Chain A
Amino acid sequence: MATKPKLSVYWAASCGGCEIAVANLHERLLDVEAAFDFVFCPCLLDTKKQDVEAMADGSIAVTLFNGAIRTEENLEMARLLRRKSQVLIAFGACAAQGGIPGLSNVSTAADHLRTIYLQGPTLDNPEGTIPRRQTVVDEGVLALPGLLDQVSPLADVVEVDYTIPGCPPESHQIWAVVDAVIRGVALPPPGSVLGAGASTVCDECPRTRGDKRIDQLRRTWEIDPDPDRCLLEQGVVCVGLATRGGCGALCPQVQAPCIGCYGPPEGVTDQGGKMVSALGSMIDIEPLKGLPEAEIVARIDAIFDAIPDYAGCFYKFGLPGSSLKAAVAARVGVSAQDDQ
């Protein structure tokens, strides 16, 4: 029997949803199994890190790496799987851009530990114990991987060949990529985004779009939106116009605004910046005309007061990859926080 190419799926700082998306291939998993030797996937298989270490470098054909880089362990596994894989794919929003864990970059690791373990109002921690890399107990030394100071996307710590975005990537998109690999279709140039569109979620959204004149922003629980009209026009902050398509506009079709999980579309470097530009220019200005300058500013501010968290709204899945955070990362690199 000819040797099948090896496939691995790993999770770093992630929720497990990417594995579920793989499992949602359903009976096609049998086709994957027929084409590949599925060698490593801590969620589904028993193989361990030592088994991967024992493999020759470059012996895994494709690794789907999901999850962000939050801990020293995530970093170590990213480097190991990079070395063992011919093609390393950043799989899902967290590996692609930092994802939900990346929102923690509004603060530092030291601040998180302080907030979570020392300052919570319901805590009872008189000795001020926080997780440490090493703890000596009677039986020996217990070790935990340290937190890195900031969360990074996979491409910030190792070279990444392709990205499949989404939280999680849609199963039919995963299949399209896997099927192309099985059939030996030539892959696009390294660095490309696979399993997604080039344009925006709006292009896939069936809602009718008209003039956008917003006089009030509404959070999802404050409105039962008209199911046929653009959500943004109804004052619901939908980031579909700053988000790459490929999902089929699933959320807007069930009355939920797009929250941006597929990341920025082609030509957009900063998803939040794009959304700020779009939303900022949709305010209904007719009632503002003729007002004193200070009053115009006050009226605009009153509308934006309805948004409680800007990073969580405009960079929900990509804060570490935003222009400003990426600039910080480029300057300081990946660093562990010192005082653990």
Chain B
Amino acid sequence: MTGTFEPTIVGFLCNWCSYAGADKAGAAGMPYPPNLRTIRVMCTGRIDAQFVLKAFAEGADGVLILGCHPGDCHYKEQNYRALGRHRLLLRVLEQHGIERQRCRFDFVSAAEAAEFAAVVGEMTADIRQLGPVNLRAVGADAQ
């Protein structure tokens, strides 16, 4: 079954770094899986944990958040804030039965087109392995 499963991944990309990196990857013709649904945000600091929860509630199989490297944030330090939220959110998601690999945070600059393609490729492969989100599987796993 995992052979035919194509995950839907919602990607929140920062305008100042990873969104430009994705653009660059596209312009350079670098291949990466078409599973990513990109949402451009002005900063990863804008991403409320509720956005991620909503994405999963509405059927996303994964959520990818890409921000600027530490020290490079256009708004001083909001990428640190986003990272803090992400680390806490992972634990909440796990308790809901959503595996850590399904919600990934990474640093990708505007220049790192190859890095962008690699992250999307890795994440898509990881989630193909996991299969669709099964929110019902929580109880069984807890034993």
Chain A residues close to B by CB (< 8 Å): 106-108, 110-111, 114, 268-270, 272-274, 276-277, 279-283, 285, 288-291, 293, 296-297, 300-301, 304, 307, 309-311, 314, 322-328, 332
Contacts and interface: CB of A to CB of B under 8 A. Distances in A.
Nearest to A104: B139
Interface in B63-104: 69-71, 77, 80-89, 91-92, 95-96, 98
Contact of B92 (A114, A290, A311, A326): A311
Contacts of A322: 53, 96
Given A269-B50, A274-B48, A274-B50, A111 B88 contact: no
Residue from the set B49, B82, B140 with the largest chain A CB neighbour count within 10 Å:
B49
A297 to B, nearest CB: 7
A297 B87 CA distance: 8
Interface stretch (B5-13, B16-24, B26-34, B54-62): B54-62
Residue from the set A283, A301, A307 with the largest chain B CB neighbour count within 10 Å:
A283
A121 B95 CA distance: 24
Given A289-B71, A310-B91, A270 B50 contact: yes
Interface of B: 45, 48-50, 52-54, 56-58, 69-71, 77, 80-89, 91-92, 95-96, 98, 107, 135-136, 138-140, 142-143
A280 B80 contact: no
Contacts of B95: 106, 309-311
25 contacts: A106-B95, A106-B142, A111-B139, A114-B143, A269-B54, A270-B54, A273-B48, A273-B53, A273-B92, A274-B49, A276-B49, A280-B81, A280-B87, A285-B77, A285-B80, A293-B69, A293-B70, A300-B84, A301-B87, A304-B87, A323-B56, A324-B53, A324-B96, A327-B57, A328-B136
B135 A273 contact: no
A130 B50 CA distance: 39
Residue from the set A272, A281, A290 with the largest chain B CB neighbour count within 10 Å:
A281
Contact of A304 (B49, B58, B88, B142): B88
Contact of A327 (B48, B58, B82, B85): B58
B115 to A, nearest CB: 13
